[in-house]
């Protein structure tokens, strides 16, 4: 099977521009923000823009796509006002996904900010229950690097939310986050152990996407800073096993690697294809 590899591209100037950028870097799947992720803002995607996005994706044979939710969304929060804003933002994201023909909306659980782990997980599950998700869209909870009171760094957190919500959710594992949270991915054996741990705790049948990133920091540091594939502490051996692991290789891999050292997404896309050759 041809590897499903792409990157997070920009909708600046129109959502269809993200498709063109994806094609230029050689990607065949991808991720977008529907608006600036650093402010409370509605997606505001016009019907003709959505039609162009769908048509361009079909023409270039690019998909699946993921919408990454706003960085401000906090499903775990104990604060009523922030919870209401987070639910409203997520509802608009899943509606935008349906309009664009995007399969997934990706979201972090957020931070409990002192409410405690169990309360934070309950808050997240009940917030997800408030969503009216179109049938053709799936919400993916993304793993976290695990700093401070943020939840989602432990596979147990992901399993708990899955068990506590009535919404049919899936998951996205970010390799840099998983590594930062203390699950080793730097050797083939370590990748196998981490994949087996996820399967035992959460279930591989619920894993729909991987954010494929190397890490500039060591395993277990809770530091989230991405590196080019093979250049970080996960390294060539770990990345090779991730993209070739029999339980992962057919998933869409979405890059969030940096633009530095004269390399950007296109270099990393080609690197994955080389590893799968």
- 79 band by pLDDT with thresholds 50, 70 and 90: very high
The CATH label, of 3.20.20.150, 3.30.930.10, 3.20.20.70, 1.10.1670.10, for the domain at 5-276 is: 3.20.20.150
pLDDT-derived band of residue 31, with 50, 70 and 90 as boundaries? very high
pLDDT of residue 1: 55
At 103-123, the pLDDT tens digits run 999 999 999 999 999 999 999
- Rounded average pLDDT over 118-140: 98
In tens, the pLDDT along 60-74 reads 999 999 999 999 999
Report the mean per-residue pLDDT for the chain: 97
Give the rounded percent of residues in the chain with a pLDDT score beyond 90: 99
Enumerate the domain spans of the chain.
5-276
Q: Global pTM? A: 0.97
**155, 156, 225, 231 from 198: Cα distances, Å:** 6, 9, 22, 25
């Amino acid at each position: 099977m041809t590897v499903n590899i792409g990157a997070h591209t920009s909708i600046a100037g129109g959502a269809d521009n993200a498709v063109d950028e994806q094609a230029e870097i050689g990607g065949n799947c991808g991720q977008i923000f529907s608006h600036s992720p650093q402010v409370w803002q509605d997606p505001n995607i016009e019907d003709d823009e959505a039609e162009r996005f769908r048509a361009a994706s079909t023409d270039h044979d690019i998909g699946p796509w993921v919408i990454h939710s706003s960085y401000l969304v906090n499903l775990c929060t104990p604060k009523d006002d922030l919870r209401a804003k987070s639910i409203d933002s997520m509802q608009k994201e899943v509606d935008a996904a349906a309009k664009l023909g995007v399969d997934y909306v990706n979201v972090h659980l957020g931070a409990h900010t002192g409410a405690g782990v169990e309360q934070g997980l309950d808050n997240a599950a009940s917030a997800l229950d408030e969503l009216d998700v179109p049938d053709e869209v799936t919400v993916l909870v993304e793993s976290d690097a695990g700093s401070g009171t943020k939840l989602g760094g432990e596979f147990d957190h992901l399993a708990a939310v899955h068990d506590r919500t009535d919404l049919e959710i899936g998951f996205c594992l970010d390799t840099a986050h998983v590594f930062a949270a203390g699950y080793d991915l730097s050797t083939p054996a370590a990748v196998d152990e981490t994949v087996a741990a996820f399967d035992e705790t959460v279930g591989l049948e619920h894993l729909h996407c991987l954010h494929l990133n190397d890490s500039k920091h060591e395993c277990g540091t809770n530091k989230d800073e991405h590196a080019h594939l093979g250049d970080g502490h996960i390294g060539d051996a770990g990345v090779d096993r991730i993209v070739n692991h029999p339980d992962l290789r057919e998933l869409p891999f979405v890059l969030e690697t940096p633009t530095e050292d004269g390399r950007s997404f296109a270099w990393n896309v080609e690197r994955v294809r080389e590893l799968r050759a």
